[in-house]
Chain A
């Protein structure tokens, strides 16, 4: 285990080479500006200054740990295995000791890193457009939610990308639509299995803004009284389990270009 873990920084260091760093920053900036643009265009219609409360926090929640993190990880985490095959990288790193696992996890960490960069930058800009009464606390909560979302969705998409190599992104989109979006809003216990449920519960517990209680009452069936640490533990377990499954799948698969077979 230690032998494998100590190889992961090599992959991260490679990605931090100046040329790749600039490319990553550019892509993070483009994706991060998408929610900012949406918030800015909404502000043109409705002046947030008069009504910045928990409703705006929900809007930000949908855009940041929801839309932005999912989009970023769709682009960066789900195609990791496929891209390695297209570039024939697996045929080289796969014959290094623990190379497959280290490369997979290193790439995953980079996907998480760029997602967090995009999410945090975007949260700051959005909080500047929507002046929350206690914006420092709100931004800090969103920073945490973005990070949790990036780790959890990244791990799930990485697993799906490893399982359905050539259809990884399609499988990830299907997961988001059918599991996160549909199941996550069902008034049934099954929604406990979604990442959205835990992130949303943490939002309600951590963000202290006007109208929170009235909104929480309205959707009470979605917000059970579970302590925040239990939600954190659930997200951590999701992440670890999905990463473990992704590593197992990658190490069991023959990562050779199909057309060459």
Chain B
């Protein structure tokens, strides 16, 4: 098992960091998705042995990660925040971390150059980190996590600050690692980033695990849930009446004079019937915007369920 969490809770005084997490992850690529403050970073710090759980048990690669040199040898961690002295160069920093990890000087040199080339920083490797852009500093963090070729890579918001080209390069790099059988856990609040790398997802909010599984399993949760549709029209009240009368809407809400929000369990039928309603001449529809079928919509709905908000009653 790559990661095992057994009723893990982390308290900061009276504040809950993560709450009763139970997860078992086989080797593979996983996306840990949640809004800011949802407990992602706390969970990653528990997994990397920087924090101890207040309750429960954490196992990474079969062992407790707290001060565990055996786990640290197999672990690569890219923290969310910058963590390097600004006055040294990227080369010096990566080389230092490799020698600190126990590599001899020659091997550390070789791997430093490889890692910096991997993240496309070879040309500027002898420039001070203080002079780097945000995206370049992000690449340094990724390079230090990758340099010792870890078995498990734990990345906290790894794409933040990267330009589209850098993002694409990193995604390609992470895919290669995933195909090579290495474990990856990526924490992010941007779903489209992680969708390109991870096969499995863990959705976290308020320190609790909302859902987990592959994309299909997670989307299957949506089957019985109403879909949200935004409609711009000249007569939102009339359109709302028509949709409810035809039993095409489970819930409607007026958003100003020209906008209507609809929750429907059967959006396909709604789209099919809408032209007929328009043809009757009582309403004009200018724009229809449906919530897309990406993970973002799923995440929004699961969050609402978690917070106890029933869409049909809203």
Contacts and interface: CB of A to CB of B under 8 A. Distances in A.
B100 A10 contact: yes
A7 B102 contact: yes
Interface string A6-17: 110111011001
A97 B72 contact: yes
B84 interface: yes
Interface in B26-84: 41, 45, 48-52, 67, 69-70, 72-73, 75, 77, 79, 81-84
Interface stretch (A29-37, A83-91, A207-215, A234-242): A83-91
Nearest to A6: B102
A173 interface: no
Interface stretch (B91-99, B110-118, B174-182, B251-259): B91-99
Contacts of A10: 96, 99-100
A11 to B, nearest CB: 7
A256 interface: yes
Contact of B72 (A20, A23, A96): A96
Interface residues of A, number: 34
A91 B50 contact: yes
Nearest to A20: B87
A97 B102 contact: yes
B83 A91 contact: yes
Contact of B92 (A17, A23, A88, A254): A17
Given A23-B87, A95-B75, A96-B72, A14 B92 contact: yes
Given A13-B99, A97-B102, A92 B48 contact: no
A89 B101 CA distance: 15
Which of B15, B75, B97 has most A Cβ within 10 Å?
A: B97
B92 A92 contact: no
B99 A7 contact: yes
**7 nearest A-B pairs in the assembled complex, by CB-CB distance:** A88-B83, A97-B69, A10-B99, A92-B83, A261-B12, A14-B96, A91-B79
Interface of B: 12, 15, 17, 41, 45, 48-52, 67, 69-70, 72-73, 75, 77, 79, 81-85, 87-88, 92, 96-97, 99-102, 128, 144
14 contacts: A14-B88, A20-B85, A89-B84, A90-B50, A91-B81, A92-B79, A92-B97, A95-B49, A96-B97, A96-B100, A102-B100, A254-B52, A260-B81, A261-B12
